[in-house]
Amino acid sequence: DGRDAATEYASLARGKAIPIPPEPLTQTEFDRLQRWERRMIRYYALATALRDWVQGEGLPSCEALQAIDVATVARMLGQDPDNAALARFLGWAVEALRELGRFVAAELDGVYANLLAATKLDATAMVALLCRMPMFRDVASLDGAEVWLLKRAQILVSDLHGIYAGQ
C-alpha cells in the first residue's frame, strides 16, 4: 500500500494502532491531531532519521553527539532549522543526543555496547543505569508524592529486547 518500513513499524508498535500517515501532513493537519498522536509522529520521525543517519554515516562518536547542533538534527529530519514550529522539538532532540554522548563517554567508557555488557542484559539493571541520564528520569507528582514512571528507559529496554529477539 505504499507505506515504508518505518510507517509500518509505527503502526504496529506494541500492538497499538498508531495513525502515522504515509504522506507528510500540513501544519493545520498536524495541529488537529491529538497530543499523543503528535508525540508518536515526532518519536518515529526522529527514530527513523537517527537510524538512517547511523546507517549512512556510521555510529557517531561520543564527541560527535556532544557537539551536535540544531542544524544537523534538522538536516537529519529533512527540516528547516529555522522552522519556529519545530524549535522546541529540535532543541529537545539536540539536548537528548548531547546527553547521550556525555553518558556513553562517562558511564560506558565511550562504547555503546557496554550498556548491554555492564548490565549483563538484565532489564532492571539496564533501566537503573539509563536513569543516570536526566532524559530517562521521567517523574510525576501524585498527591504530593514523587512517582517515578521510567517510561523512556523501559521503552528503550523493550526496543533492545525486540531488536535482539529476546536473546
Distance in angstroms (rounded) separating the CA atoms of residues 44 and 74: 15
pLDDT digits (tens, 9 = 90+) for 64-92: 999 999 999 988 888 888 888 788 888 98
- Is the model's pLDDT at 123 over the cut of 80? yes
- Is the model's pLDDT at 52 over the cut of 70? yes
The answer to whether the beta carbons of residues 24 and 31 sit under 8 Å apart is no
> Bridge partners of 140?
147
Question: What's the maximum distance between 2 C-alpha atoms anywhere in the chain?
Answer: 49
What angle in degrees, to the nearest 10, is found between the helix axes of 35-57 and 70-77? 100
Q: Which residue has the cell 537503573?
A: 128
Taking residues 132-147, report their average pLDDT: 89
pLDDT digits (tens, 9 = 90+) for 97-122: 999 999 999 999 999 889 989 999 89
pTM equals 0.71
